[in-house]
Amino acid sequence: MASKDIADTETNRLIALGLSLLKDGKPADLLRAFELACPAGLMDARLHAQVAYAHAALGHVGPALAAADLAMPSVSQLWALDLVGNTYTRCHKPDRAHEAFSRAHKLAPERPGVLFNLATTAGFLGLSDEAEWAYDRIITIAPGHAEAWHNRSLLRRQTQRANHVSQLRSAIGSGAMPWQSEVFLRYALGKELEDLGDRDSAFAEIARGAALRRRHMRYAISEDVEAMERITEVHNADWCAPARGARSGGGPIFVIGMPRSGSTLLERMLGRHSHVQPLGELPYFGQALVGAFRAQFGRMPSSKSELVDCSAYLDPSMIGERYLGAVQPLRDAKPRFTDKLPMNFLYGGVIARALPDAVLIHIRRRPLDLCFAIYKTLFRDAYPFSYDLTEIGAYHRAYQALMKHWRAALGEQLIEIDYEDLVAAPRENFEVLLSRLGVASEDACLSPQDDRGGVMTASAAQVRQPIHSASVGSAERYARHLGPLRASLRL
């Protein structure tokens, strides 16, 4: 057998092995197997695609992007383009992901999964017409693809002349679907009815979808509340004292708060500044904290409470180094960057200790508006407290107590701004914020709608609009339905 034939046989063997390991959820095994088989390095784009996805699954951003970039120019197989596209998506590169999925679509123009990936990344990039066209095709080809129905409803404000209410009602009325599909359809119908001004019917559909999702979850709000209470005890004022003495500024900018608080708008405004790179919702600080725990104790934490208790004994500098190492492959030449994962508010003290030059910006929103916005948003597997009005209120009270603690413990490292003030007087309030950050004012920051960068959050459609105050007081339109939320918030 010729050497080329031997090489091709070995490559095909590795491809088959890699696909099997990825299917079984064993990305680390794939990396070990490929390293043993090819110690001098891989020479095939299809193998690079598999390595890229494996690294992304393990949270290795730099190696994942490097391997994806090697695969991208020449990879031509549908499955390989899918791996590359999903790698870029996981690594917060929606523009590159969209390119990969566009090439995949040319190979399989009528495959629902390919169309869904194309539509999703088009939505991230603000290409709403392309996204809606792709979702329409999915629903025509595979009408049971409920997530496509849901995502399509989010792309734009529905009108009396252009909406999908009757089709959604028919789909729900058919009854022949798993509960997961019904949840997607109920939220989609609720959103479209709200757009059309039928608020009572909208609330009824959202409530049905939320209750159905909640029934199929194992979640105890008490565990989250107790964890936040424990954070205030472990990361007390004495533990946070070194952070108060640190000179902050010039480092990462963390935008924190509850989901649906206006954090995406704030980050888009910051990201228009010539000195600030917006990186979106990064999972890396929590991963750095868990990684430091594992490095010190040789295992994963057994519970949230154990992670909280032991975090006080971890080396903060190690956590900071791990975090910055994960973020570095995403950086450009701008000196500052933002990380707007809302739930980083849980790590306020650890962030301040691990990254002394970081700044935390807490964006606040009126509780009733905020909590109802959470309730009517389908977060899929995130934010398990979001499907019950009473639980949302309980979570919000615990969050407020924790933020009160950080306010006292972190000093100048914590900056706070109210969403209502920001949208009412953008220039005045944003200039104050920029001065606190130590950067000069720039008019571009007041036009976040002109930013063509990707947005990979639930606010992807809204933030393409100019700054407005239409959402202020929005919950009052549903006042008759929000008694349990008011009671839980103790308003």
79 pLDDT higher than 90: yes
Instruction: Tell me which of 72-86, 188-202, 316-330, 442-456 is least confident.
Output: 442-456
Q: Which pLDDT score is estimated for 456?
A: 73
DSSP structural state of residue 466: P
What is the average per-residue pLDDT within 272-288?
95
- Mean pLDDT over 228-251 rounds to 85
Q: Is the pLDDT of residue 6 over 60?
A: no
The answer for residues whose C-beta is within 8 angstroms of residue 478's C-beta and 6 or more apart is 199, 203, 372
Burial 58-84 (b: 16+ CB within 10 A, else e): ebbbebbbbbbbbbbeebeebebbbbb
- Return the structure tokens found at 371: 């909590």
Give the mean pLDDT of 364-369. Answer: 98
Residue 26 has pLDDT above 60, yes or no: yes
Q: Are 374 and 471 in contact (CB under 8 A)?
A: no
248 pLDDT more than 60: no
CA 82 – CA 97 distance, rounded (Å)? 9
Q: What share of the chain has pLDDT > 90, as a percent?
A: 87
Given the DSSP bridges, would you call strands 336-339 and 359-364 parallel, antiparallel or unpaired? unpaired
Edge to edge, the sheet with strand 359-364 lists 276-278, 336-339, 253-256, 359-364, 414-418
| Helix and strand counts by DSSP (H, E) for the chain | 24, 5
Place of tokens 């914590």: 414
Alpha-carbon torsion 216, 217, 222, 225, what sign?
negative
Backbone angles phi, psi at 455, to 5 degrees: -130, 115
Beta bridge partners of 415: 361
**Average model confidence (pLDDT) across the chain:** 93
Distance, CA of 181 to CA of 174 (rounded, Å): 12
Q: Give the integer Cα–Cα distance in Å for 230 and 57.
A: 31
What is the per-residue pLDDT for 11? 87
Q: What is the pLDDT of residue 54?
A: 98
Residue 479 CA to residue 491 CA, distance in Å, equals 12
The domains located in the chain, with CATH, are 1-109 (1.25.40.10), 226-489 (3.40.50.300)
Q: Is the pLDDT of residue 3 over 70?
A: no
Confidence label for 39 from pLDDT (cuts 50, 70 and 90): confident
| pLDDT at position 247 over 60 | no
Tokens of 314: 């971890």
Q: Give 465's pLDDT tier (boundaries 50, 70, 90).
A: confident
User: If you average pLDDT over residues 138-142, what whole number do you get?
Assistant: 98
Percent of the chain with pLDDT over 70: 95
Write the DSSP assignment of 273-338 as a string of letters.
STTEEE--S--HHHHHHHHHHHHHHSS--SSHHHHHHHHTTS-HHHHHHHHHHHHGGG--S-SEEE
Q: Would you state the pLDDT for residue 1?
A: 45
How far apart are alpha carbons 208 and 189 in whole angstroms? 11
Cα 60 from Cα 140, distance rounded (Å)? 38
- The beta strand positions in 12-95, using DSSP E, are none
User: Average pLDDT for residues 260-271, to the nearest whole number?
Assistant: 96
| pLDDT given at position 452 | 76
* Rounded average pLDDT over 293-309: 94
pLDDT at 40 > cutoff 70? no
Region for residue 41 given its phi and psi (left: phi exceeds 0; alpha: psi -120 to 50; beta: otherwise)? left
Q: What pLDDT is attached to residue 84?
A: 98
pLDDT at residue 478, as a whole number: 97
Q: What is the mean pLDDT of residues 333-358?
A: 96
